[in-house]
Structure 1
């Protein structure tokens, strides 16, 4: 069992290089603690906490009405997950967001619909969260004789669902405003929480917001003209097909960089040596998906985006989650008080998809390979997104 120190969650501290909320300064002035020590405590980067420092922090939290005496010091500590599904289930609030579309430009949200593949993925996520993917025993007792932990003990207290227009359904400005509004509302919600964005950026604009926030770049702005692929902010890249909506994105586009002809559609990812590989999309033989999450332990905040390159890949990803979700654990990167999981999934298909009469099957089969991005790839892109006072 592993614990995290949740001072940042209790005081509502969110590190942002564009803002200086004065949290560290206020705590230092009241407690007399060292600035670097407080910064490390806010990022959950300390291994030991002196009792004297803990006492001063509790006094500060009570005085500033962040917590009551009865809640402390217990509220400053939280048990951290040890499995992929536990990562989602150990949230007080779980928010799921899907993109919606419409058949006619005059249709309202009352007439909007969710893509079938995204609906299948949503169902498997809910099933995994409530059952923990059968990764926790329900009948046997722990070795110390304590009652066993069950899935019911870890289910979120609050479940919320958000709908956003998919790109191309409304003007880009409206799509951006709606996605930002949903994300800002999530960020402002107090307490332990998770935001799960289903679908790729082609289906769900909130995926764009999540990735741009993580890697400190501008959302809905193309990076196709960067001097070198190594200058791209995101370590993953969706190369659009000709019939896909070609909207500006930090996460997708038509080429990796200036002078780099990227003709093969699929999901590209950077490797440890700085080169880029691709899991390509092919109508008959191959498809791709991705899973990305960032867990800010000290804030009790999880953000995740997952989806397929195509609707077929999304259904294949849903099937894989139901059976092999633990392959997305542990995270590929840990540092600066955060954990990041970044995975690309390669599906090798059998048969001819165009001749398949059961296009709505949710039990599709394909050979599956999970590719973990290297921790160094994440590390060299994280600095622009990290801010300290």
Structure 2
């Protein structure tokens, strides 16, 4: 069983240097602890904490109204997830964000794409059942305990982790309203999520072409500006994000994006549509798309351990890829764990998936979700992630 130190969560402390209103100094002045030790505690990087230091931190929290005495020190510790579904299920608040499209001829005015609802359904199933394993967690075990992991146990009556609150938010897909309105609504949803105190997750479904909150999440994770094209960088290595979406129609009127466009750089304009990803050696691979055989998808999550804050972005290149991704989450969730990068109190899982569809005897109905395809899951190299992060 693994634990994280949640001082940052109790203080609602952001890792962004621009949003730290003297938190470290205030703790140091009150407790007498040195700045390096307090910084490590806030980042969940401390290897150990003396009981005397723990007591001083508890006194600070009580004195300044961040916690009640009877909550401490327990409120400072949380059990960490040990698999992909537990990462989601252990969040107290889970919010799912979907892009919507408009129809002027329909009285209700907008709808959610069918493939996104299939993916959402699989996520809800996985979270509520731990990917179908919850029913086995307390069966066929000694009466006084059940196995939790290879080196830890929990009591039989320990509840299966479940979110306490589940929310859904809707945003305009790009092109379904004026850019200003699309961006405004996206910022509104993303800012509201960030402002909520406590352990939480934001799951954004789709791609940058269907959900602007995905753009905001990726820009935040890699410290770059959203909705601004990076197609004109001198070299692909200068792109802020190691995943890039190449549009199907070159020079089509797609909104500016920090992680998508027509070309990787001024000198590199690949023709094949799909998801591109940077490799360890700096070259770029491609999970390609075409109308008949190939379909890509992606899944990225950023987990701030000390805050209990998770942001996840996932979807297919097209609706077909989104449906295939839903099947992959059901059958192979273990391949999205553990995270590919861990450092500075943050865990990042980043994957692209290449599907090669098997030949079908006849065209599939839009109501059928069981496409058959060979599946290759490609983790993004941790070095490609690390060299982009501002430490």
Q: Residues 224-278 of structure 1, C-alpha deviation per residue, up to 9 Å, x if partnerless?
A: 0001000000000000111875110011101001121211100000000011000
> What is the match of residue 335 of structure 1?
343
* Deviating more after overlay: 239-248 vs 251-260: 239-248
CA displacement, residues 276-321 of structure 1 (integer Å, 9 cap, x when unaligned): 0001101111110000000000001000000000110000001111
Instruction: Point out the structure with the larger helix share.
Output: 1
The reply to whether residue 228 of structure 1 matches residue 235 of structure 2 is yes
1:167 Cα offset (Å): 0.4
Match of 2:320 among 305, 312, 320: 312
What SS is found at the alignment partner of 1:299? coil
Alpha-carbon distance, 1:325 to partner: 1.4
SS in 1 for 2:313: strand
Q: Tell me if structure 1 keeps the 8 A contact 2:13–2:20.
A: no
Q: Where does residue 154 of structure 1 map in the other structure?
A: 161
Greater displacement, 243-252 / 81-90: 243-252
1:82-121 alignment runs, 5 A limit: 82-104=82-104, 110-121=108-119
Q: 2:123 matched to 1:125? A: yes
With CA pairs under 8 Å and 6+ residues apart, which has the higher RCO, 1 or 2? 1
Question: The residue matched to 1:278 in structure 2 has which SS?
Answer: strand
Tell me, yes or no, if structure 1 residue 64 matches structure 2 residue 89: no
Q: Does 1:79 align with 2:86?
A: no
Note if 1:22 corresponds to 2:22: yes
- Name the residue aligned to 1:50: 50
Shift, 1:145, TM fit: 7.8
Q: Of the candidates 175, 192, 203, which is equivalent to residue 210 of structure 2?
A: 203
Alpha-carbon contact 1:102-1:111 (below 8 Å) kept: yes
Question: Which residue of structure 2 aligns with residue 41 of structure 1?
Answer: 41
Aligned partners of 2:181, 2:28: CA distance in 1, in Å? 42
Structure 2 vs 1, CA of residues 13 and 256 (structure 1 numbering), >3 Å: closer, same or farther? same
Classify 1:261/1:352 alpha carbon distance in 2 versus 1 (closer, same or farther; 3 Å): farther
> Unaligned regions of 5+ residues in structure 2, if any?
none
Q: Whole-Å Cα distance in 1 between the matches of residues 106 and 385 of structure 2?
A: 41
CA 1:357–1:5 in structure 2 vs 1: closer, same or farther (change >3 Å)? closer
> Does the aligned pair in 2 maintain the 1:43–1:337 contact within 8 Å?
yes
What corresponds to 2:254 in structure 1?
Answer: 246
Q: 2:178 aligns with which of 171, 175, 187?
A: 171
Q: Does 1:272 align with 2:270?
A: no
Residue 369 of structure 1 aligns to a residue whose secondary structure is strand
**Partner Cα separation in structure 2 for residue 3 and residue 336 of structure 1:** 16
What secondary structure sits across from 2:263 in the alignment?
A: coil
Alignment match, 1:375: 382
Tell me the TM-score normalized by structure 1: 0.94
Match for 1:134 among 129, 132, 135?
Answer: 132
CA contact (8 A) 1:92 1:193 kept: yes
Q: SS where residue 160 of structure 2 aligns?
A: helix
- Report the Cα offset of residue 121 of structure 1: 0.4
Deviation at 1:88, TM superposition (A): 0.3
Asked whether the 8 Å contact 1:140–1:148 carries over to 2, the reply is no
For residues 147 and 282 of structure 1, what CA distance do their matches in structure 2 show? 51
Alignment of 1:180-219 (within 5 A): 180-219=187-226
Q: Is this contact kept in 1: 2:246–2:260, CA < 8 A?
A: yes
Q: Distance in 1 between matches of 2:314 and 2:115?
A: 12
How far has the Cα of 1:364 moved from its partner? 1.1
Partner Cα separation in structure 1 for residue 160 and residue 287 of structure 2:
38
Which of 321, 328, 336 is 2:329 aligned to? 321
Counterpart Cα distance in 1 of 2:196 and 2:56: 27
Unaligned ranges ≥5, structure 1: none
CA contact (8 A) 2:299 2:315 kept: yes
The DSSP-based 3-state class of the residue aligned with 2:282 is coil
CA contact (8 A) 1:236 1:270 kept: yes
How many residues in Structure 1 have an aligned counterpart in Structure 2? 380
Are 1:292 and 1:306, in contact at CA under 8 Å, matched by a contact in 2? Answer: yes
Match of 2:99, SS? Answer: strand
Structure-2 change in CA distance of 1:166 and 1:107 (3 Å): farther
Q: Contact 1:297 / 1:338 at 8 angstroms: preserved in 2?
A: yes
What is residue 6 of structure 1 aligned with on the other side?
Answer: 6
**Quick one: distance in 2 between partners of 1:17 and 1:57?**
21
Given that 1:168 and 1:245 are in contact with CA atoms closer than 8 Å, whether structure 2 keeps it comes out as: no
